[in-house]
Copies of this chain bind each other. A is one copy, B any other.
Amino acid sequence: MSVQTIATSAPPSRTGVSYSLRKPYLLFIGDAPSAGHAKTAFGIRDWAPDTVLAQWRLPGCRTDLELPEMDAATAAANGAASLVIGIAPAGGRIPAHWIDCLVAAADAGLDIVAGLHSRLNDNPELVAAARRNGIALIDVREPPKGIAVATGDKRPGKRLLTVGSDCALGKKYTALSLAKAMRQAGIDADFRATGQTGILIAGQGLPMDAVVVDFAAGAAEALSPDAAPDHWDIIEGQGSLIHPAYAGVTLALIHGSQPDALVLCHEAGRAHINDQPAIRIPPLDQLAEMYLQAARLTNPGVRLVGASLNTSRLDEGASERALDEAEDLLQVPSFDPLRTSPDAIISKLQAP
């Protein structure tokens, strides 16, 4: 995927309330003890390789993005515009020995971008360095200011939303995969990020889960603004309508997105909500109907156009069988974004 594949063709937002990051990135992975700790960096590298100029590792780093190695000054001299923290620090706090690196990045003129719980803008040293150098500290977990209450007014342009049976099973990668394939097929499509990793990959978006609940549907409206009639926004879903903590986010995102099309995401074999054995995932056709009912409120013409299965725990034969079963049950094409092509879904999307 090239940076152009996921960069947006539309202006950042009708209302100017979503983030827009400067590219290319220097990916900071510090002294990551394992690849798992740097999964944000790997996600950015894999889904937006042309966004990434180099990696910056510190002594003791135990993983490797297989990118050119640069420090802040070298990256800046080679055209980098932002340092992106691609690692989750232990305990959530930014360690003291990282701060020197981040100050050096600010001194080299790079914006500093992070999606951490611990905010860059709460660190006095970083705030001083940013002010001194005229660079931005961007905490993509913080919602931008200026989000309004949803109007419910129908917007021009077309929208696809990924929805799921649970959290953390592939709604983001499903949307990224669809947006990439659509652009490769010559369709005018943008990926719209709703969580911090998606925002770092796309270079723009809005962290839905951090918005005050009264404004959550309004945030979704701002995220996919008015567009040309044939333009598609491919929107990253959040949570699940059957998740006892996060269904409010999911419903607000559905109503504000006004989707024309839904793709239902599920992990093959997952029987209940993670850590909630009492909440069983219903048959996928029932779940799809719940989502369609909710989405009809702001777009009565909404359709289910596909299923996305995370089959990472299955061998190839079992994966194919699971995909076939989902197609039989839902009567729409299915795919696994990390294994198979979404082309059949895209064909269905374009069929009247």
Query: Please, what's the 1-or-0 string for A240-266, where 1 marks a CB less than 8 Å from any CB in chain B?
Result: 001011111101100110000000000
Residues on B with C-beta less than 8 A from A298 are 244
Least CB separation from A278: chain B residue: B152
Residues on B with C-beta less than 8 A from A209 are 212-214
Please judge, given known A-B contacts A242-B297, A297-B242, whether A216 and B248 are in contact too, CB under 8 Å: yes
Residues on B with C-beta less than 8 A from A276 are 152
Query: In the complex, which residues 180-225 of chain A have their Cβ closer than 8 Å to any Cβ of chain B?
Result: 208-214, 216-218
Instruction: Give chain B nearest CB distance to A182 CB in angstroms.
Output: 27
Would A297 and B210 count as touching, CB distance under 8 A? Answer: no
Per the bound structure, the CA–CA distance linking A278 and B153 in Å amounts to 9
Would B214 and A212 count as touching, CB distance under 8 A? Answer: no
Would B152 and A245 count as touching, CB distance under 8 A? Answer: yes
A149 at the interface (CB under 8 A from B): yes
Per the bound structure, the CA–CA distance linking A278 and B298 in Å amounts to 9
Per the bound structure, the CA–CA distance linking A149 and B249 in Å amounts to 12
Least CB separation from A242: chain B residue: B297
Per the bound structure, the CA–CA distance linking A218 and B245 in Å amounts to 7
Would A213 and B248 count as touching, CB distance under 8 A? Answer: yes
Instruction: Give chain B nearest CB distance to A159 CB in angstroms.
Output: 15
A279 at the interface (CB under 8 A from B): yes
Please judge, given known A-B contacts A212-B210, A212-B211, whether A217 and B152 are in contact too, CB under 8 Å: no
Residues on B with C-beta less than 8 A from A246 are 214, 217
Q: Pick the residue among B151, B216, B242, B297 that contacts A213 (CB under 8 A).
A: B216
Per the bound structure, the CA–CA distance linking A249 and B218 in Å amounts to 13
A150 at the interface (CB under 8 A from B): yes
Residues on B with C-beta less than 8 A from A247 are 217, 251-252, 255, 297
Instruction: Give chain B nearest CB distance to A338 CB in angstroms.
Output: 27
Q: Pick the residue among B210, B242, B255 that contacts A214 (CB under 8 A).
A: B210
Per the bound structure, the CA–CA distance linking A252 and B213 in Å amounts to 9
Residues on B with C-beta less than 8 A from A211 are 212-213
Least CB separation from A209: chain B residue: B214
Least CB separation from A255: chain B residue: B244
Per the bound structure, the CA–CA distance linking A251 and B209 in Å amounts to 15
Least CB separation from A273: chain B residue: B152
Query: Please, what's the 1-or-0 string for A291-332, where 1 marks a CB less than 8 Å from any CB in chain B?
Result: 001000110000000000000000000000000000000000
Apart from the given pairs A151-B244, A214-B246, A217-B246, 7 other A-B contacts in the complex at a CB distance below 8 Å: A150-B244, A210-B213, A210-B214, A212-B213, A217-B247, A217-B248, A244-B298
Q: Using CB atoms and an 8 Å cutoff, list the residues of chain A in contact with chain B.
A: 149-152, 208-214, 216-218, 242, 244-249, 251-252, 255-256, 276, 278-279, 290, 293, 297-298
10 closest Cβ pairs, A-B complex:
A248-B252, A152-B244, A150-B245, A248-B248, A209-B214, A213-B213, A213-B216, A216-B248, A251-B251, A213-B249
20 intermolecular pairs with C-beta atoms under 8 Å apart: A152-B276, A152-B279, A208-B213, A209-B212, A210-B212, A210-B213, A211-B212, A212-B212, A213-B213, A213-B252, A214-B245, A217-B245, A217-B247, A217-B248, A218-B245, A242-B297, A244-B255, A247-B252, A247-B255, A248-B251
